[in-house]
Amino acid sequence: MTAKEDMVSFTFGDSPAMADELLALVLAGEKTATCGPLRDFGPDGEAMPVVGRRDTVLDGRGRPAAVIETLEVTIRRFDEIDEAFARDEGEGLRTLEDWRAGHQAYFERNGGFSPDMDLVCERFRLVEALPRDDTNE
């Protein structure tokens, strides 16, 4: 098991609304994978996911909401993503083409897109949903 100090805290998406939407999919068991451009990882960026590490998912307000455990990490080109991975991202997209269109738009908003860009692809499992105090909303 990974030491607690090795845990990474993060939000899914690029807005508070998207963070909450994707978190809800994780909590419902519909989202078991995620990906991001390889360019965003490294010493000056996000921590690379590590198989076996448990991380804290934050909600759109930055509150700890869930603990996930990384099961698999692969690097694939955007144009090599298959239907199985797109489905496991669980974002309600009906086809691989829907996944590609949605992710292309996301990557264009967040630093650029290329069909041959490398993605860090992570599969994970929900370990625990954390209690949140919603009384101060």
CATH no. of 4-128: 3.10.400.10
Query: Has residue 133 got a pLDDT over 90?
Result: no
Single pTM value for the model:
0.89
pLDDT band per the 50, 70, 90 thresholds, residue 94: confident
What digits encode the pLDDT tens for the residues 6-63?
889 999 999 999 999 999 999 999 999 999 999 999 888 899 999 999 999 999 999 9
- Classified as helix, coil or strand, 36 is strand
What digits encode the pLDDT tens for the residues 104-124?
999 999 999 999 999 999 999
Domain boundaries, the chain: 4-128
- Classified as helix, coil or strand, 54 is strand
Average of pLDDT values for 75-83? 97
